[in-house]
Structure 1
């Protein structure tokens, strides 16, 4: 048995031999175990402290970071997340729903965006309250708003910081009973004026027809049916308007806008209980149908347009040009409304102006158009499917652009019924189709162009006699049964002048063959075929072949008298004809009025001076003694060419239609008010062909 004891120095002493060494080893082991135990305890305590510290940090986010979160949620319209940051029992005592509604109405009402804050300081009032000072910057529909402000944070029972909400957090000068209002500062869209300053498009007044529900009586349903009939609007649409959530007994509920001049209709409507009629400002087209294809119209912007133009300050209430000049010059005509963001006190009085962006009126545009000329041409052809273009051939000023049948631009602005829209779309005469900007088969009006090309290139001598061909001709037997035909057999003097006077298809078929495929294609390209016409109003380009070349001699021959695949835009034709009085230079047409009307040419020297003079002289004879003699006007020397283009599915087609043309101009090169008119009328077959057109255009020259 071994006995162990501890001496005064703390050694372990054994009665057996070697005990002192073993005691030292055991002591070191105890010390090591003790140290390790202490380290483990320290590490555990530190871990617990760190865990608790960071858990507490995660729960209690610092006030400045909380405020940044709150403001960032405004940009994202996350109003519920904003509400979650608030303390309980704020001074406003707003419910969650009221808080969301108030903030949403204000921030989205002013179109707040890009809101940022800059923390400028934090002040601890006591252990449970901190004031955060900050600067705010935001963009709105009225411009930037910036201000300095303070936010108060308190600790809740869980020691978490919470924002004390008050209306001053929105704007520092906003009290709980105040209201934020956005005033629209209306801008005026630019006017469109004619050359003499007469308004073609501008501000007008219309009658707004509406109902006041509280003034309707027991015959309400019967009265609504009567209103539906009178205004061509469905009962369903009327009831939908009356049942809108905002409608009260004394609310004026707009039903339809009608022109101001419909007094008889207004008198009948006013006999119905509850009807009220007020004047409203509208975009007005005083010439109605006479200028509609030219001016076009405006309407409210569509969702697709709004998405496409989202960076150009349009909104859901914007009106935008939909067609014609209203669309072409949208950027210049457009009005930019201004906005004012204000605070109203409890009495409705203006308290503060937060931001203001002034309105910007659109630019008014003056055209070269002569409203009188436009009206005369429209009146002459209002019952036809036609187009007419009038220009000053010396300056290029476009005096009239008319397409019939047409529509009334005012109908689109004031509200078009579904029935009216269907009528326009389903009308076989296509009133929505703009005929003055398309390319059409020109018929014999193309012959002077072939003559000028042949003379300029030296292929045609004006005195050459192509001999007698009768009323039908073919180049050779390779054409099979195909022959070129003409209406009049005028004998054996087939020179250029007679060919134009008698409108000889055969002469110009032969001329085209002499010019040749390549040269004719080259020369037509030189005078603007297959090229965009340099003009403010978009026009279809003219073309001479579907393949870009004349594939056969028959096609080439037919092209010589304006058939084949020749398609020409009327304005392009006017520019080519202007070369006959401009020494071979094609005038550049333009539409925007300018004080200096000195000529600018689109194409120079497309015909030689000699060639243009010969053709000009011959065109005078066409009016004096030829196919255009019906246009002779006392006191005015005229030059021109008639044309009848056949529109057929094939040569054998006997049911095809005809286009009647007249290209006519004042012939005196010194005339102070030169005029060139190009007119095309569809379906002149059985109506006298181009002679039908002559009688109507003649009246324009007679009434000048």
Structure 2
């Protein structure tokens, strides 16, 4: 390699690496006399930082020219910038032999080819709007709007009672006094506004600090993302925030820059590519009154999405959960529209676009950040909610005769001695032979364990899959995958029997359970679940005949009787004026059958088979010793009564 080529390679490599000091060292003495090292490095750093330059590539673009102890190398520069991908092809690097080495003859055209001395580089951006998220009725849940910045004007704030003023502001904003003092002490310009917090314009704290400019307390509006609905929606909608270095790297081909905002959680993250906006940007040279464009990109607003969520229902469910750890999902049995998806406890998304109060920080610490877990897309053991599926599969395969009884006695049963010490246990021995309706009402684990064994692995697995469990679920929000067992098989007798009454290794999401019970209100069919109805517009059957129509009356009768009939075991689930079907479920989480230290999760699912408006399921975690699944029942009943009476 000749020395000139080596000098070119060294200079351009340093440029790519932003080694501006190294670049300066390669300049000729004449060039160094025209610009100091500090000015050189500051200029390059400021310009290429301001245009968000990245992924620089410099390539020779023609033949070298030799003249008068100089070699001129034409090259082009390609890079990503705030104004998009840019390629500038008219650069010329002049190399001069000096002290037996080739040095760079520099002027401003080596920043940009059109640039001359005294030119200034400007960057102009015009923000575009991020797409909004609307509920089923067109009410905004997330949208670009205006928030307030509350801050101080030091020149007016220098009062004799400054400490009491700081204490007052800290108390109103629910932040530490130290936070305010630190910002004041760091400020050296009394005319400079000191921002303290960003806050929603409708926050009750704003009026207490408004109209106090004379005291040095200022409120200034600014663009911001605004969320509606509070905690009930936090885990579902999510929030946006400043992009991290890791996110920038992971999305390096998507035109983000280091000042971009990006979806961090919930639908804001899942639908980032749809919602995100792209600001218009222009990089240009300012030469007196003249403006010379280097690169320009038109802006693009993000697209709105409309979701099937009923905001009032979502809020009602969350309020009924009263801070318990758990989840709830509601679907429309006829359309597959998801009417609510709630995770509790949750957060107000505005916390992440405004500020975190001392009270909120204390709450997070007290609950060990329980709201960081999204529970509505988690899988859980279904407990006795599984018994609808076992009933339907048993009927359809002739294993259950609804008019026949099974002679089961005692509270424990095993198939034979090969099970060792293991027995299926039930809570109640009714003292008589048990038919399907009895088994459903008393949630008889032995009955349903026997049905599963008689079905056998293949028929039972096929039946479960026909309810969509253990199958791929095409849904707009990422969900944990349901499973029939850890390996998809039920080839062990005890595992097969356990699965029949909802234990074993079976794992489902609340959405799986709501969809399964929706078949009772939709002629035995399960609809494809839909959330983003602006894109997913058509109602489609997902699982045809999950429940055979001929057995629907039997199952509706059995699963309404345990709520509505005399002697029912879930009378607290009844909704005045309506007939609802449903089932509780206590899912035990323990290491062995004899484990007494394990916890329980309490399910209750309720569906209205007559009006077919809603199938609702709720799970509350850790209900052992405080009512088991009946902790959940009145919460669901209250929601059903509210919704069916609307």
TM > 0.5: yes
Q: Which one of 235, 238, 250 corresponds to residue 293 of structure 1?
A: 235
1:261-272 equivalences in 2 (<5 Å): 261-264=202-205, 267=208
Aligned-partner Cα distance in 2 for 1:521–1:312: 43
8 Å CA contact 1:533–1:572 kept in 2: the answer is no
User: What's the counterpart of residue 258 of structure 2?
Assistant: 316
Shift, 1:356, TM fit: 1.2
CA distance in 2: counterparts of 1:429 and 1:75, whole angstroms: 43
Q: 1:168-214 CA deviation, whole Å, 9 max, x = no partner?
A: 55456645444211122222221111111111111233222333444
Q: Secondary structure at the match of 1:196?
A: coil
Which residue is 2:191 aligned to? 250
The equivalent residue for 2:438 is 498
1:141/1:622 CA distance change after superposition, 3 Å: same
* Contact map agreement 1:623 1:639 (CA 8 A) in 2: yes
Q: Secondary structure at the match of 2:581?
A: strand
From 631, 634, 638, the counterpart of 2:573: 631
Partner residue, 1:643 = 585
Residue number in structure 1 paired with 2:38: 97
CA contact (8 A) 1:649 1:656 kept: yes
- Residues 627 and 642 of structure 1 are in contact (CA less than 8 Å); yes or no, is this contact kept in structure 2? no
Matches within 5 A, 1:420-459: 420=360, 423-424=363-364, 427=367, 430-459=370-399
Distance 1:503 1:341 in 2: 71
Q: What's the offset of the Cα at 1:231? A: 4.7
Describe the superposition over 1:30-74 as per-residue Cα deviations: whole angstroms up to 9, x where unpaired: xxxxxxxxxxxxxxxxxxxxxxxxxxx98xx7xx99899877764
Task: Name the structure 2 match of 1:114.
Answer: 57
Q: CA separation in 1, counterparts of 2:219 and 2:447?
A: 67
Of the structure 1 ranges 591-600 and 387-396, higher mean CA displacement relative to structure 2 is found in: 591-600
Contact 2:285–2:291, Cα closer than 8 Å, also in 1: yes
Q: 1:543 matched to which residue of 2? A: 483
Aligned to 1:405: 345
The correspondence of residues 443-522 of structure 1 with structure 2, limited to 5 A, is 443-467=383-407, 469=409, 471-475=411-415, 483-490=423-430, 492=432, 494-522=434-462
Residues in 2 aligned to 1:465 and 1:620: alpha-carbon distance in whole angstroms? 19
Counterpart CA distance in 1 for 2:44 and 2:490 is: 72
Q: In structure 1, what is the equivalent of residue 268 of structure 2?
A: 326
Distance in 1 separating the partners of 2:498 and 2:322: 32
Q: Is 1:609 equivalent to 2:609 in the alignment?
A: no
Give per-residue Cα distances to partners, 1:486-515, cap 9 Å, x unaligned.
344445352112322333333223322322
Q: Are positions 1:368 and 2:308 aligned together?
A: yes
State whether residues 662 and 690 of structure 1, in contact with CA within 8 Å, keep that contact through their aligned partners in structure 2. Answer: yes
Tell me if structure 1 keeps the 8 A contact 2:131–2:305.
yes
Shift of 1:303: 2.2
TM-score normalised per structure 1: 0.78
Q: Distance in 1 between matches of 2:224 and 2:632?
A: 37
CA contact (8 A) 1:92 1:165 kept: no
**In the TM superposition, what whole-angstrom CA distance separates every residue of 1:407-438 from its partner, at most 9, and x where no partner exists?**
22221222446985574266158222222112
Structure 2: distance between partners of 1:642 and 1:550: 24
Aligned to 1:142: 83
Q: How far apart are residue 292 of structure 1 and its match?
A: 1.0
Distance 1:473 1:321 in 2: 53
Judging changes above 3 Å, is the alpha-carbon distance between structure 1 residues 547 and 212 closer, same or farther for their aligned structure 2 residues? same
Are 2:52 and 2:258, in contact at CA under 8 Å, matched by a contact in 1? no
Which deviates more from structure 2 when the two are superposed, residues 110-119 or residues 236-245? 236-245
In structure 2, stretches of 5+ residues that fail to align are none
* Mapping for residues 684-695 of structure 1, pairs under 5 Å: 684-685=623-624, 687-695=626-634
**1:677 Cα deviation after fit:** 0.7
Higher mean displacement: 363-372 or 613-622? 613-622
Partner SS for 2:254: coil
2:624 equivalent to 1:681: no
TM-score (norm 2): 0.84
Conserved? CA contact 2:328–2:342, under 8 Å: yes
Q: Which has the higher contact order (CA 8 A, sep 6+)?
A: 2
Matching residue of 1:667 = 609
Change (3 A) 1:557 1:493: same
Q: Deviation of residue 137 (structure 1)? A: 5.5
Structure 2 Cα separation of the partners of residues 508 and 145 of structure 1: 70
Kindly report which structure 2 residues correspond to 1:127-206, keeping only aligned pairs within 5 A, or say none: 138-139=78-79, 140-143=81-84, 144=86, 146=88, 165-167=106-108, 170-171=111-112, 174=115, 176-206=117-147
Residues 211 and 276 of structure 1 are in contact (CA less than 8 Å); yes or no, is this contact kept in structure 2?
Answer: yes
Distance 1:174 1:214, change over 3 A: farther
Q: Give a deviation string over 1:506-557, Cα, whole Å, max 9, x none.
A: 3223322322345434533454443443212122223344454446544443
Does the aligned pair in 1 maintain the 2:521–2:608 contact within 8 Å? no
Distance 1:702 1:296, change over 3 A: same
2:641 is matched with which residue? Answer: 702
394-403 or 165-174, larger mean C-alpha shift: 165-174
Change in CA separation of 1:379 and 1:72 when aligned onto 2, cut-off 3 Å:
closer
For 1:345 and 1:444, locate their aligned partners in 2 and report how far apart those are by CA, in whole Å. Answer: 77
CA shift at 1:357, angstroms?
Answer: 0.9
Cα-to-partner distance string for 1:280-325 (whole Å, 9 max, x where unaligned): 2222221120111111222222222222322322222222222221
Which residue does 2:284 correspond to in 1?
A: 342
| Counterpart position of 1:381 | 321
Partner of residue 293, structure 2: 353
Instruction: Give the aligned CA root-mean-square deviation in angstroms.
Output: 4.0
Pairs within 5 Å for 1:56-95: 74-80=15-21, 82-83=23-24, 93-95=34-36
